[in-house]
């Protein structure tokens, strides 16, 4: 994006994005983000970092994300960027991060189902298959 503002932390590849840049990312549609990633206007890793910063800011009040997998998401973003560099696009939303409700069975996430065990009368907690 044209007015990118990045402040790198201790010379690492982690950065804090300026508010204007951050807002452009977090308020963009998935389609707009996918297009920007595809034409390399922005990386999947930058999109992930913007959303992780926003989650860090608002989630303590909202408690919307219960099981944040930040390291895994960063790794997936790096892989998506590397695949894009090789010309290996996985689909129309390649590199766009998203959240999914925790009742959907997902690799490495404890899935919460609202079903009640008949004998135990407690919600069932199921660990997703490692598919």
Quick: pLDDT tens for 44-75: 999 999 999 999 999 999 988 888 999 999 99
DSSP 129: P
Query: Hey, what are 24's tokens?
Result: 């452009």
Q: Which residues neighbour 56 within 8 Å (Cβ) at sequence distance 6 or greater?
A: none
pLDDT higher than 90, residue 79: yes
Q: What is the pLDDT of residues 89-125, one digit of tens each?
A: 999 999 999 988 877 777 777 777 655 444 444 444 4
pTM greater than 0.85 (yes/no): no
* Residue 115, pLDDT score: 55
pLDDT value for 113: 65
Mean of per-residue pLDDT scores for the chain: 77
Token pair of 34 as six digits: 């996918």
Interval 22-51: pLDDT, tens:
888 999 999 999 999 999 999 999 999 999
Query: 97 φ, ψ to 5°?
Result: -75, 155
DSSP 6: E
Q: Who wins on pLDDT, 18 or 81? A: 81
What SS3 state is found at 113? strand
What tokens appear for 129 in the block?
Answer: 């298959």
Query: What is residue 102's predicted lDDT score, i.e. its pLDDT?
Result: 75
């Amino acid at each position: 994006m044209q007015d990118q503002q990045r402040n790198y932390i201790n010379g690492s590849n982690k950065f804090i994005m300026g508010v204007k840049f951050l807002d452009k990312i977090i308020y963009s549609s998935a389609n707009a983000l996918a297009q920007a990633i595809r034409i390399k206007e922005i990386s999947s890793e930058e999109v992930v970092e913007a959303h992780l910063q926003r989650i860090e800011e608002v989630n303590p009040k909202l408690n919307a994300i219960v099981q944040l997998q930040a390291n895994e998401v960063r790794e997936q973003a790096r892989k998506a960027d590397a695949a894009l560099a090789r010309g290996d696009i996985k689909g129309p939303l390649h590199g766009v991060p998203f959240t999914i409700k925790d009742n959907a069975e997902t690799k490495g996430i404890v899935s919460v189902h609202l079903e009640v065990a008949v004998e135990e009368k407690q919600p069932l907690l199921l660990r997703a298959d490692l598919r």
